[in-house]
Amino acid sequence: MQKEEYAIVLDFLPHGYPFDNTPGYKKTAIVQAIGKKHLTLLEAVPKKGTKLDIQDEVYLGEGKREKIHHVIGKLEPDKLTATARSELKHVVKEIVEAEESKFVEFFNKAQPLTTRMHVLELLPGLGKKHMWVIVEERRVEDFKSFKDLKERVKLMPDPSKIVIKRILSELDGNEKYNLFVGR
């Protein structure tokens, strides 16, 4: 698993998990978050007395951390709270919009997976026709933005929505290959 430097808080449980049978005085606060770079779902323990809000950005890297005491590890999707699950879509959308160039670069660099299947075909709503148009268009010139991609590839669904949908599917563990989410 690649280490995350920064994460976005999806949920903050100041009294730990409600279903946890640990005695109240032993419970620790829990933070459910998603890493900004590798989009990994993480579970962490905040420093004592720290109050976090949903969508706060927290530092998880090496060295002095202001708000997070330690990272417990990767969080399984079925352990997400209802709040974290509802926030996930919004946070992923914000990450994709903020890192648009990284995801456009994916369309510019994606290669065949096998002799019969291209990585682009793993994106929801993209079939062979769209894939071939993307491949031909990027030979002429790299795509500059999602808007450029949408304009040059006729009848293509919104590229940012396709990427978001794929990321959410990967986070749920529904995909054989992860294109965007770190393991």
CA distances from 152 to 108, 118, 138 (A): 13, 19, 10
Q: Where are the domains of the chain?
A: 6-80, 99-171
User: What superfamily does domain 99-171 belong to in CATH?
Assistant: AF1531-like domain (1.10.150.280)
pLDDT tens sequence across 91-100: 999 999 999 9
CATH class, domain 6-80, is: mainly beta
pTM above 0.75, yes or no: yes
CA distances from 139 to 108, 121, 142 (A): 9, 18, 7
Looking up tokens 């769209």 gives: 130
What average pLDDT score do residues 160-165 get?
96
Do the Cβ atoms of 87 and 17 come closer than 8 Å? no
The pLDDT of residue 31 is: 96
23 pLDDT band (50/70/90 cuts)?
confident
What average pLDDT score do residues 17-39 get?
85
Eight-state DSSP code of residue 37 = T
Say yes or no to pLDDT of 20 above 80.
no
